[in-house]
């Protein structure tokens, strides 16, 4: 299991780019809100800890994980953000719904990254049961929301460095 080998929830902010002027949009699914609220808290805490101003974190709620794509698209088009973090949780049930939603959100986030020049970070838990989701939203395996925030900071820096034609991009 990848989580057992590396926990990105533990980060060294001194090795991260200065995020004090970055604007983040966070689109959060209301479905499985016990989990998604924990993921949002992890993302928000990490962003603030890394110097992002509270007023530069815009949170929008959407009904479910499938709606993350539309919410992210509208946020990109209207909110002048440097990065979007999409947060959702789909727990496997007894029908194919799990596979369809997970695949649709995965492809949708990929499409947004291709269509727009704004990084869209994928923070969708796709677990077999609720306990796995709890463990990854602030439990024993850390917080994937924290990891998404750190990835977002790094991707904004990558974009800005690339726009400045820096030949070496690293953290």
* CATH code (residue 66): 3.40.50.960
Domain-located, residue 14: no
CB 145 within 8 A of CB 39: yes
What does the alpha-carbon distance between residue 135 and residue 4 come to, in Å, rounded to a whole number?
12
CB 118 within 8 A of CB 76: yes
Domain-located, residue 38: yes
Residue 97 bears catalytic tag = yes
Domain-located, residue 13: no
- Report pLDDT for 7: 66
* Residues sharing a CB contact under 8 Å with residue 16, sequence separation 6 or more, in sequence order: 50, 150, 153, 154, 171
CB 19 within 8 A of CB 51: yes
- Report pLDDT for 63: 97
Task: With a cut of 50, list the residues of the chain below it in pLDDT.
Answer: 1
What does the alpha-carbon distance between residue 94 and residue 97 come to, in Å, rounded to a whole number?
8
70 backbone dihedrals φ, ψ, rounded to 5°: -65, -45
What does the alpha-carbon distance between residue 43 and residue 9 come to, in Å, rounded to a whole number?
10
What does the alpha-carbon distance between residue 37 and residue 161 come to, in Å, rounded to a whole number?
32
CB 20 within 8 A of CB 51: yes
- Report pLDDT for 5: 58
Domain-located, residue 134: yes
Domain-located, residue 99: yes
Domain-located, residue 34: yes
- Report pLDDT for 1: 42
Residue pLDDT, tens place only, 47-89:
999 999 999 999 999 999 999 999 999 999 999 999 999 999 9
Domain-located, residue 46: yes
Other Cβ atoms within 10 Å of 122 Cβ, number: 19
- Cα 44 versus chain centre, distance: 10
Q: Pick the catalytic residue from 6, 34, 97, 110.
A: 97
Q: Which domain holds residue 51?
A: 21-163
CA distances from 86 to 76, 91, 167 (A): 12, 16, 29
| Count: domains in the chain | 1
What does the alpha-carbon distance between residue 1 and residue 154 come to, in Å, rounded to a whole number?
24
């Amino acid at each position: 299991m990848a989580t057992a080998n590396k926990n990105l929830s533990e980060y060294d902010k001194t090795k991260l780019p200065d995020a004090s002027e970055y604007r983040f949009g966070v689109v959060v699914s209301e479905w499985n809100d016990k989990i998604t609220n924990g993921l949002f808290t992890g993302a928000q805490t990490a962003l603030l800890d890394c110097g992002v101003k509270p007023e530069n974190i815009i949170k929008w709620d959407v009904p479910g994980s499938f709606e993350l794509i539309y919410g992210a698209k509208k946020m990109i088009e209207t909110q002048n953000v440097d990065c979007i973090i999409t947060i959702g949780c789909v727990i496997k049930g007894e029908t194919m719904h799990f596979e369809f939603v997970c695949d649709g959100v995965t492809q949708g986030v990929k499409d947004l990254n291709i269509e727009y020049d704004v990084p869209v970070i994928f923070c969708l838990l796709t677990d077999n049961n609720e306990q796995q989701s709890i463990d990854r939203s602030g439990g024993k395996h850390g917080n994937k929301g924290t990891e998404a925030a750190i990835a977002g900071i790094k991707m904004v820096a990558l974009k800005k460095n690339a726009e400045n034609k820096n030949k070496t991009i690293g953290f």
